[in-house]
Structure 1
């Protein structure tokens, strides 16, 4: 099991990787509020996709996740494996390692960026 600090570092790496996306790709990412609940840590973070960047990432009370358009639930090791490129998000989702709670349209629009 990873730590909250390693999850924060993973989130920072995710923010940095999104900032490196080419401008055409960034324009295609829809603006949405998102949250991630780390089941093994009982910790949640929230942020916003805005203009192709992940911004305003903060730790939140897990109960406050309901306000996000896109809600993820996964364990910390799975998250870090995805961020580090050792595990494909779609594979993890398809095998039940990541739970996604969102409108189908949001999932459809965001599927190529997750």
Structure 2
């Protein structure tokens, strides 16, 4: 099971990957939205913002998200780490229910480039 530090590191690496991605991916991630990532097996939520093509984690709280972020991810810690290191395909994990992504319709259309 991934630790809280490994999950936070994976989010930081994902942020770096988005910032260094090609123009299409950076464009898809160039939203200014609140973001939460609930890690189910640790029962912890990382909250922050997706802005300027980067993820800025500003808070870590126990349990599910307290506020409804505009973009919400829910998954196990091992799945987060595996997706960021490239050993788990996000689209397949999402389709199988291992990962949940909730957002407004327009944001989902824009984020589809990242899948």
Kept in 1: contact 2:15–2:53 (CA 8 A) = no
Root mean square deviation of aligned Cα: 1.9
Structure 2 vs 1, CA of residues 43 and 27 (structure 1 numbering), >3 Å: closer, same or farther?
A: same
TM-score by structure 2 length? 0.85
Distance 2:57 2:94 in 1: 25
Gaps of 5+ in 2: none
Kept in 1: contact 2:38–2:64 (CA 8 A) = no
Q: How many residues were matched structurally?
A: 114
The alignment status of 1:6 with 2:2, answered yes or no, reads no
Cα distance, 1:104 vs structure 2: 2.2
| SS in structure 1 at match of 2:113 | coil
Match of 2:91 in 1: 90
Distance 1:63 1:74 in 2: 11
Match of 2:68 in 1: 67
| SS in structure 2 at match of 1:13 | helix
User: What do the CA deviations read for 1:39-74 (whole angstroms, capped 9, x no partner)?
Assistant: 000001012111212224431344444331011110
1:1-114 correspondence runs (5 A): 1-23=1-23, 25-29=25-29, 30-114=31-115
Distance 1:32 1:97 in 2: 23
TM-score by structure 1 length? 0.86
